[in-house]
Amino acid sequence: MTTTTPTSPRQVPGTQRELGTWDTGRAGPTLLVLAGIHGNEPAGVLAVQRVLATLQQHDVELRGRIVALAGNLPALLQERRYLTRDLNRGWMPKDMASLAARDPVADSPEDGQQRDLLRRFEHTVATSRGPVVFVDLHTSSADGPPFLCLADTIDNRDLAMATGVPIILGIEETIDGASLEWFTGRGIVAIAAEGGRHQHPDTVGNHEALLWLLLGHLRMAPDQVVQADARRAHLRRATAGVPPIVEIVHRHAITPADKFVMMPGFVNFQRIAKGTLLANDRNGAIHADQDCHMLLPLYQALGDDGYFLARPVRRFWLEVARWLRRARLFRIVHWLPGVRRDPEDPLTILVNPVVARWFVTEIFHLLGYRRQRQRNGRLAFTRRWSLPANAQLVPLRAPRDTTRSAAD
């Protein structure tokens, strides 16, 4: 049996990367949990510590292993979202290549954290004895129920729906470089979980219930330890009245120069009528331009997302998407008028919006494509479940050892 003793459930780490590992030597999935990639979000750290402590207390013979890592250690110590940059916005292939090319001596605090996390990610994947599942635990500055964010692949969706927690689609099209990108780009099932408000007394319990349900769904832990019925009941109470699936339709990006101030009192999934005053910035009042649901309104000092707006998605359309993807209709989509493959990347489709004008984004979503930025007047869509042609596991140079003296 190989184990790492979990830290105290009341301790938020300042210097400890590995929160704990439970591995009894049986082959099976690896559940890799990341908590505290934002330093003002310690609830995920506490939740995974509780799960590890229970596994240890009952000496559970886990099938597979759970590996739990803390994210931004110096930011957790200072209880700040980040120190110099958002550690959850630098995981695209181009970011990885830039980090690899840079001398570690010039690292910002987050650069050093990312190098170490990446080495841990790669080691965990390389030593797995079965499929790897990644879950990134977060909290928000607004009140509201727990929910899950994910790239819209069939495997990600199936895992998320098994928990019964509301699902947010499309967030990976509005923000770039979240940690999910690294895993999804390698065909690894990955979800991000928002447990509730940062300091709300129920938030740790929400994350804990979710982790147990994942262990149960993956058949890693026995039913008597998982207690799935109780966990589901807890999360049903926490998410009562919330639409089960919504899709992001707008992200309000901000910078410090905008002097953005969110109007008080908004909560996650709150219904918003067209014309509602949402916020103010240096240009004046900001109103909702459609009926929608509010998500992640910003009530903290740091962050570049003022808020998101979302609309419900019928489960019927998810089943249509499943059928279309299994039929592999993406193989002939470039035959449509105004649609062609990107000559530089066979996994990317370029669409002329003048020719293909009706429901373009909706159709490509159904086929499993992710919308990217425009390229020379064309809309670019990339298949979500495939590794981009230019994405590689980039080896990073190790930081210099600054603890050795010249005499050594």
Q: Which CATH number fits domain 246-312: 1.10.3470.10, 1.10.357.10, 2.40.50.100, 3.40.50.970?
A: 2.40.50.100
Q: Report the chain (408 residues): mean pLDDT per 10 consecutive residues.
A: 44 72 94 97 96 96 96 95 95 91 94 96 95 97 95 88 93 85 90 96 97 97 96 97 93 95 97 97 96 96 94 82 76 78 79 69 72 72 53 40 32
Using an 8 Å Cβ cutoff, are 166 and 245 in contact?
Answer: yes
pLDDT per position as a tens digit, 246-264: 999 899 999 999 999 999 9
Tell me the C-alpha to C-alpha distance, in Å, between residue 144 and each of 163, 241, 265, 276. Answer: 18, 11, 11, 19
Q: Give the per-residue pLDDT at 390.
A: 38
Q: Please give the model's pTM, rounded to 2 decimal places.
A: 0.84
CATH 2.40.50.100: which residues of the chain?
246-312
Q: Residue 99 has which token pair? A: 């980090």
CATH 3.40.630.10: which residues of the chain?
2-238
Architecture of the domain delimited by 2-238? 3-Layer(aba) Sandwich (3.40)
Q: DSSP label at 79? A: T
Q: DSSP label at 330? A: G
Using an 8 Å Cβ cutoff, are 346 and 354 in contact?
Answer: no
Using an 8 Å Cβ cutoff, are 251 and 68 in contact?
Answer: no
pLDDT per position as a tens digit, 41-56: 999 999 999 999 999 9
